[in-house]
Structure 1
Amino acid sequence: MLNELEQLAAKIGRVLHHADTLAAENQRLRAEIDRLRAEASQLRTDREAMAADRELLNIKIEEAQLRIQSILDKLPTASDARQLDLLGEGAPATGTDPDASGAHPAPGEHA
């Protein structure tokens, strides 16, 4: 009977040691879960901030596109006789040949 009690005590000792090991592992896992939750929360916050920045940038891009389109709408077209010499090369504003003598036929005349 003493032998059986010693065996039972040894088994209880191993179970208690195993329980302590499991408790320590459980504590480590809880700490890891807390760390991951905090990290996930920070990532969510970062994602929300990036989404807000992206929305703000999209608004700025749309405003810039509208300003550019407004400027483009004000520019003369290629067929406009009032076309400006935007390059400043001194080429005739309405002539298509930069090597031309600069003499333009009068309306109704053919070159």
Structure 2
Amino acid sequence: MLNELEQLAAKIGRVLHHADTLAAENQRLREEIGRLRAEADQLRGEREAMAADRELLNIKIEEAQLRIQSILDKLPTAGDARQLDLLGEGEAAQPRQQASGEHA
């Protein structure tokens, strides 16, 4: 009977040691999960900031395209003899052209 109790005590000791090992591993895994969650939150925040920056850049590109198109629309065509009016001073420049045209 004493031998059986010693064997049982040894088995209980091994089970307790295994339980302690599992508890330590469990704690390590919980800490790792916490670290990974924090890292994921940081990456999510960075991704959202990059998406906002990208949206802002897209808006700026669209505005620049509109300004470029506006300038291109002001350029004379190949058959148009008018002077370039890139600054929007067309009304002031036209009387000078007519005056020089009348004297020619």
- The alpha-carbon deviation at position 22 of structure 1 amounts to 0.1
Listed as ranges, the matches of 1:24-35 within 5 Å are 24-35=24-35
TM-score, normalising length from structure 2? 0.78
The residue aligned with 1:50 is: 50
Listed as ranges, the matches of 1:48-87 within 5 Å are 48-82=48-82
Instruction: Give structure 2 stretches of 5+ with no counterpart.
Output: 85-104
Moved over 3 A (4+): none
Cα distance between partner residues in 2 of 1:30 and 1:78: 73
8 Å CA contact 1:76–1:82 kept in 2: the answer is yes
Instruction: Give structure 1 stretches of 5+ with no counterpart.
Output: 85-111
Q: Aligned residue pairs: how many?
A: 84
Letter in 2 for 1:81: A
Cα distance between partner residues in 2 of 1:27 and 1:75: 72
Cα distance between partner residues in 1 of 2:82 and 2:62: 30
Answer 1 or 2: higher relative contact order, Cα 8 Å, separation at least 6: 2
Aligned-pair identity (%): 93
Cα distance between partner residues in 2 of 1:21 and 1:7: 21
